[in-house]
Amino acid sequence: MKRMYFVVNLVAGKAAISKTLGSIIDEFVREGYKVTVHTTQSGEDAVEQAVYACEQGYDMLVVAGGDGTLSQCLQGVMSCDRKIPIGYVPAGSTNDFARSLGIPSDRMKAAKAITHGKPVLCDVGGFNGGYFSYVAAFGAFTNITYETSQKLKNVFGHAAYLAEGATQLGTIKAKPLRIEYDGNVIEDEFIVGMITNTASVGGMIKVKDFLLDDGLFEVTLIKKPKNKAELGKTALALMKNDTTDKNIISFRTDEITVTNLSDEPFRWTRDGEYGGNEKVNRICCHKKAVAFVIRGKSRLPFVKD
């Protein structure tokens, strides 16, 4: 019998996973899995449980939670020599990476996609010795996901992020940075930077022509606008994925270094979680590093048995 380790974040999103948890476990058991369930107890608990699942020889790790919980499990899997496939039941407020993988937002459908799906190899981002599944970012609004309280997220869902973002409109500051990639060097002041491998960020910003297994990131940098009117125009262009705006720089690369040229630290996020405030930040792509179990039409080739 195949062994599944099931990590569940009961407070992710609007804490609704508990309503279908029994049915999800029943689906896994009915399809021939011996299921061990662990509910997360702290911020780093999911990392430790993913390591445990790999080291104890489980056939699959399944994660029910938001993008942050998935990212924590990914940290654990990437730290192990034996990397087991990951199944994902999205239960957060935005679920960007699930959307990129083509995983249904309906939790029961996502569970069935795991039991009837196949593993596909995906790229994984490396960030200062850690890892991320779909985005590493800095600047305006990128701290919203981890600074908005879980209580507000549970009550208002995605609207809680928008409300928190509105409070930051008057405090946007540009950051003097050096960007190095593929022999190129850019020095300028930026208000936002995103290194992504996803169809969307924050459920709002769409990314076109991305591939999850090509070994490349999509990089988007927003230079400091001259005034509020120009800021609004650039923000609108970003939402429409219009990279012709003069303040938007975009390119693809497998490795990038971002250096803070000021004495004032600034914060990064990784998959919506706090990512540190190092002066020099090195981001690289681990091509086809981890398998995710999905079903149906996909832009990714299935792993051959």
Phi and psi at 141, nearest 5°, equal 70, -10
- Tokens (6 digits) for 103: 């995983």
Residues whose CB falls within 8 Å of the CB of residue 98, separated by 6 or more in sequence, listed in order: 67, 88, 90, 105, 110
* 226/236 Cα distance (integer angstroms): 15
Residues whose CB falls within 8 Å of the CB of residue 218, separated by 6 or more in sequence, listed in order: 195, 196, 197, 207, 210, 250, 252
The pairing of strands 184-196 and 175-181 is antiparallel
- 209, HSE (Cβ side, Cα atoms, 13 Å): 8
Exposed/middle/buried for residue 42 (C-beta within 10 Å: 0-12, 13-18, 19+) = exposed
The single residue of 44, 187, 273, 278 carrying the catalytic annotation is 273
273 is catalytic: yes
Amino acid (one-letter) located at 256: I
Q: Which residues are catalytic?
A: 273
